[in-house]
A and B are shown apart, each in its own frame.
Chain A
Amino acid sequence: MTFRRYLVLAVITLTASCGDTFLSRGMKSLGPVSLAHPAALIHAIFSPWVASGIVLLIGFFASYLTALSWADLTYVLPASSLGYVIMTLLAHFWLREHVSPMRWLGVVFITAGVGFVTRGPSWTDHSGAGHTEAQIAAVETPEEVRQ
């Protein structure tokens, strides 16, 4: 794992938690949507908070797929679950929601889980070939530096 790849995991974490929080903030400002009036959901998509949330969640999916192309699912899922911690912090400090002691304990468990998985290898190599160091270096070193 290189710094750039840790950065991709950080982007997954941040875009997922901020995207969900933006959606929640936007839907709360619009009020409850009745199933009898589904057109209100279309209207919601164009509100700034909901639209920003959707853009962030598209960014989340793109970075999630990128991470799955060089790391195992059982590495990416726990490693990116730090988003739940960020979401709880945002809910407490930004949305002013009450966070119970049990939820703070849940945050501690998730953080410990992330700590466990990120200390191990990220990829199970089945072929024996894998991605060579030269391939990785070629992607991560800018063209002008290589020349």
Chain B
Amino acid sequence: MIVPHAILATTAMIAAVVVTATAGDILTASAMRQVGDLDVIRARSGITGAALAVVTNSRFGLGVFCLALSFFSLLFAFSHRDLSLIGPAATSLTFVTNALAAKWFLHEHVDHRRWTAAIFVCIGVAMLAF
């Protein structure tokens, strides 16, 4: 089966946005889990202490780097394809990939309630394009 070049390019652009956004979200969430409850840290060390605890975490830096990559991938995709296709496709798919990645990498308890929520939000965001 021959896949048209345009479809392959669109899929690659959406995949780039989704993969980098998911990596960014997972690394950021993992960093915040390492840092601990910011409310507790702020009560103990003030807002400067809380900010320092976050920005000095290496996973947080890597997460922000991935989120920046995702942003520029999104801009690149927007310059080649319609906003109404790339925006909802990338955003809605990210909800599902985040749920999978959070289960695998962060070992979060993703029960049927959270799966239903992720899928409902994914469908809802996709529908906002129409």
- The answer to whether A binds B is yes
Which A residues contact B (CB, under 8 angstroms)? 35, 65-66, 68-70, 72-75, 77-78, 81, 84, 88, 100, 102-103, 105-114, 116-117, 119-121, 124, 126, 131, 135-136, 138-140
Q: Which residue of A has the minimal Cβ distance to B125?
A: A84
Q: Is there an interface contact between B114 and A74, defined as CB atoms closer than 8 Å?
A: yes
Enumerate 28 A-B pairs (CB-CB under 8 Å) in ascending A order.
A65-B54, A68-B28, A69-B36, A69-B37, A69-B38, A70-B38, A70-B39, A73-B102, A73-B106, A74-B102, A74-B110, A74-B114, A75-B114, A77-B95, A78-B114, A78-B117, A81-B95, A81-B125, A84-B125, A84-B128, A106-B130, A109-B120, A113-B119, A113-B121, A121-B109, A126-B107, A139-B42, A140-B39
Task: With A113-B118, A139-B43 as known contacts, state yes or no: A70 contacts B37, CB within 8 Å.
Answer: yes
Q: For B123, list chain A residues within 8 Å (CB).
A: 106, 109
State the 3 A-B residue pairs at the shortest beta-carbon distance, nearest first: A106-B127, A109-B124, A113-B120
Q: How many residue pairs between the two chains, A and B, have CB atoms under 8 Å in the bound complex? A: 132
Contacts of B42 in A (CB 8 A): 139
Q: When the two chains form their complex, are residues A65 and B32 in contact, meaning their CB atoms are under 8 A apart?
A: yes
The main secondary structure of chain B at its interface with chain A is helix
Cβ of B113 under 8 Å from chain A: yes
